[in-house]
Amino acid sequence: MALEKITKVTGSAAYVPGNDIDTDRIIPARFMKCVTFDGLGEYLFHDVRKDENGVDRDHPLNDERFSSASILISNANFGCGSSREHAPQALYRYGFRAVIAESFADIFFGNCTTLGMPCVVAKAEDVRALAAVVEANPAAEVTIDVVGNRVLSEGIDFAVKIPQAAHDALVAGQWDPIAELQEGDSEVAQRVAALGYLPAGK
């Protein structure tokens, strides 16, 4: 499977501040009553963006100046909670292509990587500086140099971390592991036989 090599992501950004932004907040459970991921983008951050009557609350994503943002900036432990892939799917379908935050929950991070959506880890002060640039100029172009592990914007250039495995997978265009997993078929069969608890030969 030829996948896109994700070497950099460029676009305008939006800052959604907060630590421990959980996947329930990214996509509330009631919108998971679906059998496909289509249409999830519409409900991204729904309950913090709309009040009980469906009227817009004060939220960065309700601010027109950030409506074309493709990079999300946030703080620590982003994507904690439920393993729902509906959360990265909602971000992706809304139009985001990368997330910059101080740290990420493990499952969320992995889910994003398999969608080809880099999550890069930045220092708190760098997040703050970048957020300030974006707030001052919402059209500011932000570039995540995935290959070089850096983030660049107006007057900004800082290092970010991406765990090596995710980094390599994104850059090599191997972020969807299915093809490689299937190549391991015969070794899987051997391992199954050695363990003895899976029915062999299936």
Partner 1 sequence: MRPVRRFFCAPNVACANLPTRNTIGQNLFEKVWDAHAVRSLSNGQTQLLIGTHLIHEVTSPQAFGMLRDLGFKVKYPSRTFATVDHIVPTDQRVEPFSDPLADAMIRELRRNADEFEITYFDLATGKQGIVHVVGPEQGITQPGTTIACGDSHTATHGAFGAIAFGIGTTQVRDVLATQTMALGKLKVRRINVEGVLSPGVYAKDVIMHIIAQLGAKGGIGYAYEYGGSLLDSFSIEERMTVCNMSIEGGARCGYVNPDEKTFEYLKGRPYSPDGDEWEQAVERWRSMASDKDCSYDDVVNIRAEDIAPTVTWGVSPDQAFSINGSLPDPESAASEAERLSIDEALAYMKLEAGSAIKGTRVDVAFLGSCTNGRLSDFREVAKFLKGHKVADGVKAIAVPGSQIVDALARKEGLHEVFTEAGFEWRGAGCSMCLAMNPDKLVGDQLCASSSNRNFKGRQGSPTGRTVLMSPVMVAAAAVSGAISDAREVFEVERAVN
Identify residues 150-189 at the interface with partner 1 (CB under 8 A).
163-166, 168-169, 172, 174, 176-178, 180-182, 184-185, 187-188
- Of 20, 56, 141, 157, the residue at the interface with partner 1 (CB under 8 A) is 20
- CB nearer to partner 1: give 61 or 76: 76
Mask of contacts with partner 1, 51-70, x by CB under 8 A? xx------------------
For residues 104-143, which are near partner 1 according to CB under 8 A?
104-107, 110-111, 114-115, 124
CA angle centred on 112, ends 107 and 113, rounded to 5°: 100
Our separate counts of H helices and E strands in the chain read 8, 8
State how far the Cα of 114 lies from the Cα of 174, in Å rounded to an integer. Answer: 9
Dihedral of the alpha carbons of 3, 186, 165, 37, in degrees to the nearest 10: 50
Binding-site member from 4, 58, 64, 202 for partner 1 (CB under 8 A)? 202
> CA–CA separation, 61 vs 33, rounded Å?
23
Pairing of strands 119-121, 98-101: parallel
Q: How far is the CB of 22 from partner 1 (least distance, A)?
A: 5
Between the CA atoms of 147, 111, 129 and 153, what dihedral angle is there, to the nearest 10 degrees? Answer: 40
Q: Which is nearer to partner 1, 141 or 168 (CB)?
A: 168
Nearer to partner 1, 4 or 30 (CB): 30
Q: Residues 19, 67, 68, 137: which binds partner 1 (CB under 8 A)?
A: 19
The two tokens of residue 117 are 């959506």
Length of the chain in terms of residues written: 202
Within residues 21-50, the interface with partner 1 by CB under 8 A covers 22, 24-25, 28-30, 32-37, 46-48, 50
Q: How many residues bind partner 1 (CB under 8 A)?
A: 71
